[in-house]
Amino acid sequence: MVELGQIDRPNVEDFAGKKKLYCVANIYAIEDAPEDYKKLVNKYWDEVVQQIEKIEAAGKIKRIFCELIYEEGEDAFNMLMKINERIPQIIRNKSEEGGVLMPLENKDILGPYTDWGNCLRVVFTREVFKRVLEFYTEAAEKRLQHIMNLIESKLLEAEAGLLIMKDEDRSKLQFPKDIEVFLITPPSYDDIMRWFRERMSRAPKEDDGGDK
């Protein structure tokens, strides 16, 4: 596994003839988020675009995989616009260069996975939480297995693919040895993680102050 950010540009010869998967963490622009966070997110996606251009020295993107997408064509782009408006721009550019957007999800699997996840957020009793968590875990495992199978079957020999997915989920995928995985991690990714850590560290103090 190669993490882009530690290298400027890959040596083409090192990856010739291999399957390559360029992985980008899906960072969302939270609705009503502070302006400093929005600026960080925009900077992140700008840097992602720059690093994709560099990494494509190892192979131009032919297959594009994006989480939550089970539609094709314009339906997929319309769905993407509701999720993260920066992603359609990237995908359209890569499509014009020969890349093909592949439906990554199975609607019948994604639906229950999403519903059980939502249920976990509103459960109060430990017994019910435990039961719901079992259903959620089962659905999550089924989803990840579907995603892994699809990438393996659709990414052909010597091709390069782009995977846009939450790091938390992507890290659970066990890619076969014949797929060379590149992690695209722009400097602003660390800035965003730091933003969340600082926000969380301030929250308890704010709560303590409000209780007094």
What local confidence, expressed as pLDDT, does residue 199 receive? 85
What's the pLDDT tens digit per position in 42-64? 999 999 999 999 999 999 999 99
Does the structure show a pLDDT above 90 at 152?
A: yes
Q: Which residue has the higher pLDDT, 40 or 200?
A: 40
Average pLDDT over residues 182-186: 94
2-4 vs 160-165, strand pairing mode? unpaired
For the entire predicted model, the pTM comes to: 0.89
Average pLDDT over residues 28-46: 90
- Confidence grade of residue 67 (pLDDT, cut at 50, 70, 90): very high
Backbone angles phi, psi at 18, to 5 degrees: -100, 155
Q: Could you tell me what percent of the chain has a pLDDT over 90? A: 77
Average pLDDT over residues 149-162: 96
What local confidence, expressed as pLDDT, does residue 5 receive? 52
Strand partners, 23: 163, 183
> CA of 51: how far to CAs of 86, 103, 182, in Å?
15, 24, 11
- Confidence grade of residue 204 (pLDDT, cut at 50, 70, 90): low
- Confidence grade of residue 206 (pLDDT, cut at 50, 70, 90): very low
What local confidence, expressed as pLDDT, does residue 28 receive? 86
Annotated domain spans of the chain: 2-57+70-211
Does the structure show a pLDDT above 60 at 193?
A: yes
Q: How far apart are the first and last CA of the chain?
A: 50
- Confidence grade of residue 3 (pLDDT, cut at 50, 70, 90): low
The three-point CA angle 94-98-101 to 5° equals 60
